[in-house]
């Protein structure tokens, strides 16, 4: 039996185009940098144009910036168009917190905004990218879920949005696996990003604050999440992995 050809992991994304949302900072920027380092090009999507300009200065011509509000209905189509309708990898990373608001304290604006960014935009981008992946016969989607989809450690809006991300992930994996599409998610614990995580609820601070302080491992650097995302995106290393919600939390989910 012939031996398998060695894989050059330094160029594992050579010739591939990736869309990464929230790419101006944190996990998204670290992921974009890793994909580019390993041979790919990245459509870097973020609301903050200044962050994208700085990212392009750091990462070069393989980063194509697109400053856009992903909650706009037309945003997904515009993002895929920026990729010239060729999408090998989609990383739905952009997300916002909800101030840990419990249901009784929740306002409609927070609910709609958090679900719009964290869940509806994920659905729309998957829906926009999938036809082009299906036409090509392959594609990898990696969604950024959260520890909040495993345990209660956030407000109601954020918790529901990340459970929704898990549902989208599993549904896409089940429906399109035979067409060469893989869809997985990472579930981070605490990560050193600029996503606001202040308590807007005294009740939540009193109830969840001590528990999280006692059980949560040290805050992770974004690069640790980028490694997991790129592993799942890699059609060689993760070829047989589909529909998985992967905790990347230093074991927090088992405590």
Structure tokens, 103: 């249901």
> Is 158 an annotated catalytic residue?
yes
pLDDT at 66 over 70: yes
Sign of CA dihedral 45, 48, 51, 56: positive
Q: How far apart are the C-alpha atoms of 101 and 113, rounded to whole Å? A: 13
* The pLDDT value given to residue 63: 98
User: Tens digit of pLDDT for each residue in 24-44?
Assistant: 999 999 999 999 999 999 999
pLDDT at 79 over 80: yes
Q: How far apart are the C-alpha atoms of 169 and 177, rounded to whole Å? A: 12
Q: How many residues does the chain have?
A: 255
Catalytic residue among 158, 176, 220, 229: 158
Which of 1-15, 47-61, 64-78, 210-224 is predicted least confidently? 1-15
Judged by DSSP in three states, 205 sits in helix
pLDDT at 6 over 60: no
* The pLDDT value given to residue 68: 98
Share of the chain above pLDDT 90, in %: 84
The whole model's pTM is what?
0.94
* The pLDDT value given to residue 9: 56
Order of strands across the sheet that contains 245-248: 63-67, 41-46, 17-21, 89-92, 139-144, 181-188, 245-248
Which of 74-78, 159-163, 187-191 is predicted least confidently? 187-191
- For the chain, the average pLDDT equals 94
pLDDT at 2 over 50: no
User: Tens digit of pLDDT for each residue in 217-240?
Assistant: 888 999 999 999 999 999 999 999
Classify the phi-psi angles of 26: left when phi > 0, otherwise alpha if psi is within -120 to 50, otherwise beta. Answer: left
Phi, psi angle pair for 163, to nearest 5°: -60, -40
């Amino acid at each position: 039996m012939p031996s398998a050809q060695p894989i050059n992991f330094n160029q594992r994304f050579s010739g591939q185009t990736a869309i990464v949302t929230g790419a101006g900072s944190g996990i998204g920027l670290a992921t974009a940098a890793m994909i580019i380092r390993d041979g790919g090009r990245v459509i870097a999507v973020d609301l903050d144009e200044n962050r994208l300009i700085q990212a392009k200065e750091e990462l070069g011509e393989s980063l194509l910036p697109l400053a856009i509000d992903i909650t706009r209905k037309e945003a997904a189509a515009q993002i895929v168009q920026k990729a010239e309708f060729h999408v090998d990898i989609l990383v739905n990373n952009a997300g916002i917190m909800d101030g840990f608001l419990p249901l009784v304290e929740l306002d409609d604006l927070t609910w709609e905004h958090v679900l719009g960014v964290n869940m509806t935009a994920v659905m729309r981008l998957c829906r926009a990218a999938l036809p082009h992946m299906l036409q090509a016969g392959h594609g990898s989607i990696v969604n950024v879920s959260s520890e909040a989809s495993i345990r209660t450690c956030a407000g109601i809006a954020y918790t529901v949005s990340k459970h929704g991300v898990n549902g989208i992930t599993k549904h896409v994996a089940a429906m399109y696996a035979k067409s060469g599409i893989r869809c997985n998610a990472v579930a981070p614990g605490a990560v050193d990003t600029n996503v606001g995580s202040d308590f807007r609820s005294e009740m939540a601070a009193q109830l969840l604050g001590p528990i999280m302080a006692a059980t949560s491992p040290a805050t992770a650097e974004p690069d640790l999440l980028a490694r997991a995302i790129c592993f799942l995106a890699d059609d060689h290393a993760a070829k047989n992995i589909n529909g998985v919600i992967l905790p990347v939390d230093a074991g927090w989910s088992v405590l």
